[in-house]
Structures are given as C-alpha cells and as structure tokens.
Amino acid sequence: MKNIMTALVVVVCMAGFAGAQANRIVPVPRPVSPPESTITVTGQGQVYAVPDQATLRLGATVQADQAAAAQNQLNQIMQAAIEKVKGLGIAPQSISTADLSLSPVYSQPPQAVRNEPYVPKIAGYRASNILQIRADDLKLIGPAIDAAVGTGVNQLQGISFSLKNDTEQRQQALQDASRQAAAKASAIAAALNLQLGAVDRVIEGNAYIEPARAEFGRGVAMAAAVATPVEPGQVQVQATVTVQYRLVQPGK
C-alpha cells in the first residue's frame, strides 16, 4: 500500500510540472535591426575684425653698485613714465605692474683664469620693472611708447590687440563652422551614394581669438626722435563645431 501511495504522489507531481511547463510563456526573439551608419565631421570658422583694445608692456632695467641705488634709479624712471602715460589720457586703472625684480649681478672670471676655479663675487645689482598698459584708444599706443622712452624706459616687450566684446564675431565663426561641417558631410555622403539623415550630436569646440601683433617701423632707441608708428591690423576669431549625422539610403 505504501508503494502505491508513493507512485501516486510521483504521478501527481509530474502532472503538475507538465502543466506548469505547458503554461510557461516562451518569449519570441525580436528581429535585430542593423546598426545605423553615421558620419562625424568637424567644421572650422574664421572671422576677422578690427581690434578696439590694445595692451602694451614696457619698462626699464637699471644696474648699479648698490641694491638701493639701482631700485631708486628705477623708481624715478618708472614714476616719470607713469605720469607721462596718464597725461595722454590713459586711466590710472588701466596701468598695472606686470613684473618687478631686483637681483645681484655676479662678476665674471678674467680671461686668464677661465679654466681655473673661480668664486664669483657680487659686482652690482640689477632692478627691473615692467608695466602693462591697456588702452581703448589705439591712437595713444605710439605716443605712450614715445613718452615712456623719453623718461628712460629701455624695455619694450610688445603689444597685443584684442576686442572688448567678441560675442558677435564668435557667433559668426560658429555659424561658419557649422556650415562647413554640413558641407563636408554632404560631400562624403554623396560620394558613398547615401543621404544625410538626422543630426545625432553636436559638439562646440573652443572659440578663441588670435591677437594681432604690432609691427614697429622704428626701434625703441629711435622713438624719442621719430614718432613710433603702430599698425593694429586685424584680430582673428576662430571656432570649431563637430557634428554627427545619420546616413540613410536614398529614398528612405
């Protein structure tokens, strides 16, 4: 009797398992769509504009036997230069100290003992001061150089020209870059007998200004005798745009 009951239990369990298997939902695999083809291109835009701001760096270097003497001579030169520059109409807040240094100058060994051990000694001190001058009126740059040189300034590190507000030029450069990217993508798609589809992604690159550099007709040494001509030229605003397009078969 016990064996008969065990057999019945096994039969019932198997019947239940079979019923559960019959009621199980087997998912139907979906067809896998082929991956869409894409193309990624980068366009560059360039816009030129006349600068309306200039930054001038100039100063003086003085050497004397004593540190205090070198610094005192330098202070007199730079103070006079600042007053002259202010007198041209350049605002005090547009004048700042860019670099200031005071360092010892060591003696060099005599020619006869160049190959022998030599302990250098302090022969003097060199003091240096560099001003950074910003001007919105570009016509003041040349006179500022001449006025400063007249006080004893003997260092001219250069001039850079820029735009006070470059929003319009940046936007135009980005538009030009976008049009160039679209033209590149269209040309590539046509060569492959394909058409451009939707835009998947757009990445804006860095838009930046390449400042113009001044060209001097005369050196600093001639500035006191002949007015220093300064030609601002043009600044260049550049931008890049990277665009990813979908590629589709013609007619789709």
DSSP per residue, 151-218: TT--EEEEEEEE-S--HHHHHHHHHHHHHHHHHHHHHHHHHTT-EEEEEEEEEE---EEE-EE--BSS
Mean pLDDT of the chain: 83
Mean pLDDT of 162-178: 94
**207 pLDDT tier (thresholds 50, 70, 90):** confident
Output the CA–CA distances (angstroms, integers) from residue 158 to 55, 92, 151, 230, in the order listed.
8, 20, 18, 11
Q: Max alpha carbon distance in the chain (Å)?
A: 132
d(CA 100, CA 127): 8
pTM of the complete model:
0.68
pLDDT tens string 117-137: 777 889 999 999 999 999 999
| Phi, then psi, of 223 in degrees rounded to 5 | -65, -35
Task: Report helix, strand or coil for 117.
Answer: coil
Which residue segments constitute the domains of the chain, with CATH numbers given?
Answer: 34-51+164-252 (3.30.110.170), 53-107+122-162 (3.30.70.2970)
Residue 113 banded pLDDT, cuts 50, 70, 90 = low
- The 10s digit of each residue's pLDDT in 1-20 is 544 444 444 444 555 545 55
